[in-house]
Structure 1
Amino acid sequence: MYETPEALLEFSTFLNSQMDQVNRIEWNTQEENIHFFLGDIRNGTNHLIPSVYHASAVSGVGLMYRIINVRGFFEELTTHNFNGQTLTFKLTVNDSLLAENNQQIDIEAIDGNIKISNSTNYDVEMVIDIAELSSLIIGVVTVQELLMLSKVKISDGQYVQSLHHFFFVLDKPTCITAF
C-alpha cells in the first residue's frame, strides 16, 4: 500500500534492489493503471494475445458491496456533498433479494447537498438494480459506464452528465483483506 507518489517510488526502489535475487515479482494490487508506472509490463508468461499484445496481468472480481436499506443509506449521506450538483431526481431501485428495498426515492440536490423529498416534481428518473447502485455509490463504476452497459435507465438523456457528476467518486474502494 502506498499513499503518495514518493512512497511508490521508494517501494519500487526497494523491489528493484532485489533484482539480483529474484527473477520476477508478483504484485497484488487493485491499481488498475499500474502498468503506466512499470518499464516492462509483461507478466513473465510470454503469452501473446492476438494480434500482438503482451499479457500483463491477471484480474478478478472479488468483493461485492450491497446497500441493505436504500432510503436509510441516502438519509445518512445528507451531510455528504455530491460534487456540487443541483438537480432533483427520482431514484427507482429494484432488489430481487430484499423486497423492502424495491423503492422509489425523490432526491433533491442543491449545490451537492441532498435531502429526501416526497415531491412528485423531479427533473429525471433513474432506474437501477441494487447491485449496480451499490457499486455506483462507492465509486466502482460510473453512471456513463452503466448506461453503456444497459444497467441503468435514465428517463431524459440531457441529465446523464449531471447524474454522472452527482455519483462520481474520485477514489475507488480498496480492500486488502483476504477472505
Structure 2
Amino acid sequence: MNNIRRLSDEDFKEYTRLSFEAYPAMYSQMSEEQIDGWIKRMQEAQSEKGDIQYYGYYRDNRLLGAMRTHIFHINVHGVEMLAGGVGNVCVDLTHKKEHIAKELMEYYHGLYRELGAPIVLLWPFRHDFYMKMGYGYGRKYNKYMYRPVDLPRGSKEGVAFMGKGDVDALLECFNRYASVTHGMVYKKRRFFERFLQRYKIVGYRSGDRVEGFMGFNFKKLDPDHPLLQNIEIEYMVYENSTALSRLLAFLQSQLDQVERVVFMTFDDDLHYVSADPRNGVPHIFYINQESNVQGVGIMYRILNKELFFTKLTQHSFNDESLRVRFNVSDSFVPENDGCITVHFVDGKPKIADGYDVEVSLNIEYLSSLLMGVIDFKKLWTYDLAQVSDEEYIDRLDRLFHVSKKPETIEEF
C-alpha cells in the first residue's frame, strides 16, 4: 500500500541515503559528523512544524521517495503572497519510473492549495521535467567575471565586515529590498545566522543602518598555486547607488590579491560598471566577445489562478483597461484547469463575466507571463499563446509588460 506522510525521526537516516543517491555530486564531500549534524537539524525542523517540513513516499512502510517543503512569503508586483517551495525531491534508484516523484509533487500541490498559496517555486534539476508539471521559466541569471582594476575606484567610507552583532541590521536591509522588489522572498533571522557561517560578509552602513551587503568567498584557481584566487559573490543587495559604489570600491581595492571578481546576479546591465566588459574567456561569436554567461534557474507555478488574481486587485497592470478570458490548460492540477475571465480596469484586475478577447495558453506560460518573465507578444510569436482576435496583441503586450523582471534570491 502506498501513502505519503511527514517523516518521523527514525526515517531521516534513510532520507539521507536517498538524497546521496539522487544527488551524488552535491553531497559527496560530507563527513559522518556532518551527516549526523544534518540529520539532527532536519529532525529539529520537523518537530517544530515550522516553515520547513519533510515528507516521504512509503510503500508497505518502506521509504522509497521524499521531499522537503518550504513556506515562503514572496513579493509579487508589490503584494506579499504566501508561496510554497519544494526541494531535494529524491527517489530510490531501484524504484525510478514508478511515478513516485509525480505523486510527491501532486501531494505537494494539494498541500499548498489547502494552505492558500497562489504560487509555488522550485529549482529544477531538469527544466523540461517540471515544465510538464506546469512550472514556467524564471528570469535568466548572470555570471560576470571582472578584473578588480576595471571596477570603479571610490570611497570605502562605511564599508566593513559584518559579524554576529549585525544579523538584525542585515535582515532589515534585505527585507527592505525585498519589499520594493518584485519576485523577492522575505528572509527570517535564522537565515542570516547561518549566512555568517557560510560567507564572508562585507556591508555598507550609513549611520546605524546597513544599506547594502554582499556575501562572498575566495575560490582557489589552481590547486598547486597558493596565490591565485577569485572572489565569488553569491549574494549582493544594495538599496541605493551610494551603497553599490562603496561595495564596488571595496572590490576594486582587492586588485593585488584576486584575479577576478565573479558576480552572480539578475542584473542584465552590470557590464556597464566595468571599464572592460569582457569576462576574460576567449569566446567570440559574430564579432561579439563574451561579457557574461547566463543560466535558467528558478521556476514559478501559479497554483490557484483565481486566488492569484484576487490577491492582485490593488495592483495596476500598466493602467490598461481590457476584459480578457483566459483559457488555461493545467493537466497536472485539475482544479486549476479551465477558463477565468478577468476585467482589467485602469490596470486593476477583477474576476467577472464578459470579455473582449480570449487568450489560450498552458499554465506554465501563464505563470511566466504574469510574473513578468516574458512579454505576451513573445509568447504569441513563439506560438505558445493564442488569441481570438489579433487586433488585441499590442494591448495585451502592454498589459503584461514589466519595467523590471522578477528577482528571486532564495536557495532551497
TM-score if structure 2 supplies the norm length? 0.41
Q: Tell me by how many angstroms 1:143 deviates.
A: 0.9
Rounded to whole Å, the distance in 1 between the matches of 2:275 and 2:387 is: 42
The reply to whether residue 97 of structure 1 matches residue 327 of structure 2 is no
Rounded to whole Å, the distance in 1 between the matches of 2:359 and 2:244 is: 40
What is the DSSP-based 3-state SS (H/G/I as helix, E as strand, rest coil) of the residue aligned with 2:394?
A: helix
Give the stretch that moved more between structures: 1-10 or 64-73.
1-10
Equivalent in the alignment of 2:259: 23
Q: Residues 6-155 of structure 1: matches in 2 within 5 Å?
A: 6-45=242-281, 47-119=282-354, 122-155=355-388
Gaps spanning 5+ residues in structure 2: where?
Answer: 1-236
Rounded to whole Å, the distance in 2 between the matches of 1:133 and 1:57 is: 29
What is the DSSP-based 3-state SS (H/G/I as helix, E as strand, rest coil) of the residue aligned with 1:166?
A: helix
Q: By percentage of residues, which structure has more helix?
A: 2
Rounded to whole Å, the distance in 2 between the matches of 1:27 and 1:114 is: 37
Rounded to whole Å, the distance in 2 between the matches of 1:4 and 1:154 is: 41
Rounded to whole Å, the distance in 1 between the matches of 2:337 and 2:298 is: 23
Q: Tell me by how many angstroms 1:154 deviates.
A: 1.8
Rounded to whole Å, the distance in 2 between the matches of 1:87 and 1:35 is: 38
Equivalent in the alignment of 1:170: 403
Distance 1:49 1:94, change over 3 A: same
Question: What is the aligned-residue identity percentage?
Answer: 39
Rounded to whole Å, the distance in 2 between the matches of 1:109 and 1:138 is: 16
Distance 1:76 1:9, change over 3 A: same
Give the stretch that moved more between structures: 67-76 or 2-11.
2-11
1:70–1:103 contact (8 Å) kept in structure 2: no
Q: Tell me by how many angstroms 1:50 deviates.
A: 2.8
Rounded to whole Å, the distance in 1 between the matches of 2:372 and 2:383 is: 18
Equivalent in the alignment of 2:79: none
Give the counterpart letter for 2:407 in structure 1: T
Equivalent in the alignment of 1:159: 392
Give the counterpart letter for 1:131 in structure 2: E
Coordinate RMSD, CA, aligned: 1.7
What is the DSSP-based 3-state SS (H/G/I as helix, E as strand, rest coil) of the residue aligned with 2:326?
A: strand
Gaps spanning 5+ residues in structure 1: where?
Answer: none
Rounded to whole Å, the distance in 2 between the matches of 1:35 and 1:149 is: 29
Deviations 1:60-97 (CA, angstroms, capped at 9, x unpaired) = 11111100111121122222222211111111111121
Count, aligned residues: 176
Give the counterpart letter for 1:156 in structure 2: D
